[in-house]
Amino acid sequence: MKVSYKAALLSAFVFPGVGQFYLKKYWRGLGIMFVVFTGLGYMIRSATLSAIGRLDDVMAKMQSNTTNLQGLSDIIGSKTLNTDPYHEAVFYFIVCIWIFAVIDAYKIGKQGQFQDKETSKL
């Protein structure tokens, strides 16, 4: 299998930036990984804060001794899954970075193959 294909598949199926590491472009791979990890961290934090908010509402309802399943269901269903307006934008940004990492790894691998062919002809 060609190096460019291996690098692209590593970035696609393992994690973005791994293909760049495979091609020995360490700083580029670290940059891509940092951006993706930061975005994932933001999304996890956002989802956790939303879940904690819902739990607080449920606990307040349960402490008021007027607990019924319909009331708890209304609390859980009344709020959107995430109250953070940037959650979706960060998700799509991560997807775009992931696609960029795959294409970038493929192009870097292709350039390396082209350079190897040129040096072998000399």
User: In the predicted model, what is the mean pLDDT of residues 84-90?
Assistant: 86
pLDDT of residue 84: 75
DSSP 34-86: HHHHHHHHHHHHHHHHHHHHHHHHHHHHHHTT---HHHHHHHHHHS-S---TT
Q: What is the mean pLDDT of residues 46-56?
A: 83
pLDDT band per the 50, 70, 90 thresholds, residue 58: confident
- Say yes or no to pLDDT of 67 above 80: no
pLDDT for the residue numbered 7: 94
Q: Are 39 and 90 a contacting pair, CB within 8 Å? A: yes
pLDDT band at 16 (very low <50, low <70, confident <90, very high): very high
Residue where the block lists tokens 């309802």: 61
Residues 72-85 have a mean pLDDT of 65
The dihedral region occupied by 65, where left means phi > 0, alpha psi between -120 and 50, and beta the remainder, is left
Which range is least confidently modeled, 7-11, 29-33, 47-51? 47-51
Using DSSP's 3-state secondary structure scheme, residue 24 falls into coil
